[in-house]
Amino acid sequence: MNPNKNIPEEKIFFFDNHSIEFVQDLKRAVETPNKYKKPVIAKDKPWERLPYIANSVWTIIKDSQTGEFHCWYEDWDVNPIGLVDSKADIHDPSVARSRLCYAKSKDGVKWVKPALNLFLHKGEKTNIVLGPSFENDTDFGSIHCPSVLEDPLEKNPSKKFKMIFQHILPNDRDEFLIHDNAGRFENLGSPMRLAFSPDGINWEIDPQILNFGGLGPKLGDVVVISFDPKFGRYVLNTRHPDAWKIDYGNFYPDNKNWSIPYFPNNIAQNNKRRVFRTYSYDLFNWTELTEILAADSTNDNLDDSFYSMSSWMISSTRVETSLHPSRELDLYVGLANVFHQVDNTLDVQLVFSRDGHKWHRTNKRQPFLDNGPSESWDQYQVAVPSTPIKNGDKIMIFYGGSNTHHDWWITGPRENLDTPEAKDTSLVSHGIGIAEIDYDRYICLKANNLREGILVTKLLQTANKHLILNGQCNEDGYIAIEILNETGEVINGFGKNDSEFFKGNSIEHEYLWTKSNKRDIPEWVVLRVMLKNSNLYTLKWV
């Protein structure tokens, strides 16, 4: 797997105004993914307790060598009744255990949980690949928040897949535990570990201790790992382990609520869930965590916070040297999972960044992927912890969902919440579903059927003189393009009437001028695009 082949090409998207000189009678519109009606992965084996796949503790990738889809997910066995008279964390070994399970698919739709001989359940083979069997517990402990990467830099085939996870150790093992008595509950300090595998099934845990910017092996219990091919480094979106440890003062009543107080007027006491980022070149030594995405008290609701985020590079500038890359034109896209504490639900917002650090929200902060309708399998939770996967002309967005709320069923008995799921955990069901969009169709410039919309780009550098657009024209709609020089004059042979109007629907259409020679196109040009009853998603020179 050559990491350089994964660097995305330079392409004009319309998440922001970066490539726009001006527009007239155009608006920006965000696409809505089309959901499959039913989950493609859910509990269906006798040894599974609760595949905890509604939020951020699973990964799906498409193998770059075989084309096969792989899924790793956490199977969680928690006892909410055991929390009633305890101050233990919900993942404390006294009340919970979890392990790693594996599934595979040829097309991403039909999944198989293979019968493996690694862990048995009542003599039957299972798809458990790491962690306790629950039937014959050992002192291994539990695996929590696993995130898996196919490593593009790895030359050793036995280490093709890498996984970072939280290793929750039994209470009688303390070689990694970092005890903290500052919180209201007993917070676990179980370490983050690195494991590797040749096939995603047989895993070996590396003994080397990870270091996250001076924190040692300690992180919050959400991690999403990825690789930035342009800069050749690993990326981890995570939580800071101390992000919510603040002094609540004397005004806070000592209650049993799972939620914690929020101080909207004191940034020093910001204890909401939010996204932090750290980088590494070797997977062992990581940079200091920096906050990259957080809710604010003005435009977000008081109870909103960011649970986790998957992110990836979608467009990269051409640069002259790798030592001095220009980052201001790169484009990263993310799917941020937003937690609404009071309603106890999760949905997904589309976000973007030009540098991977400063992130912006789209669609007026409305969901990109919303909860399902009443009585549906995903009516209360949807979340995306994995990078979407290109599959033919589509983008497959795998997402976790649930028919129950985030934590009411877990801490409901301790809090004495009057809700059915807190009284009957058999009502709790999680699954992984699919939502699809056409390739690269996240956001478009949109014109209606009455007035012709106009886009004039900023000065663009051409490459190989072939202009490719991603667009969709509705009834009687069209997209027409002119090429202008640096002074705004139409280049001879590249005017509107010299071209073949685009009137179709294509993710990759080469725009043509009938009476021109592409060699006449200068290195630097301006595009004037005219649209009517159409959507323009991307432009690129190839």
Contact yes or no for 470/440 (Cβ under 8 A): yes
What is the predicted pLDDT for the residue at 417?
A: 95
Cβ(130)–Cβ(195) below 8 Å: yes
Token readout for 249 is 């003062």
Task: Tell me the two tokens of residue 268.
Answer: 């020093």
| 226-239 as b/e: b if 16+ CB within 10 A | bbbbbbeebbbbbb
At 416, the amino acid letter reads N
Q: Which residues contact 166 (CB under 8 A, 6 or more apart)?
A: 143, 144, 145, 190, 191, 192, 193, 219, 221, 223
79 and 55 Cβ atoms separated by less than 8 Å: no
Determine the Cα–Cα distance for residues 359 and 294; give it in Å rounded to an integer.
9
What pLDDT is recorded for position 6?
58
Coil, helix or strand at residue 323: coil
Q: Which domains does the chain have, with CATH numbers?
A: 3-11+444-541 (2.60.290), 32-439 (2.115.10.20)
The residues near 231 (Cβ < 8 Å, ≥ 6 apart) are 325
Query: Residue 279 has which token pair?
Result: 């980088």
pLDDT for the residue numbered 309? 97
CA-to-CA distance for 230 and 241, rounded, in angstroms? 29
**Which residues are within 8 A (CB) of 435 and not within 5 positions of it... i.e. 6 or more apart?**
33, 34, 35, 36, 369, 397, 399
What tens digit of pLDDT does each residue of 476-525 get?
999 999 999 999 999 999 999 999 999 999 999 999 998 777 888 898 99
Q: Residues of the chain whose pLDDT is less than 70?
A: 1-7, 135-138, 171-189, 317-328
pLDDT value at residue 250:
81
Which pTM was predicted?
0.93
> Hey, CA dihedral for 358, 362, 366, 367, is it positive or negative?
negative
Dmax (CA) of the chain: 81
Tell me whether residue 20 is exposed, middle or buried, using C-beta atoms within 10 angstroms of its C-beta: 0 to 12, 13 to 18, 19 or more: middle
Strands (E), 151-188: 161-168
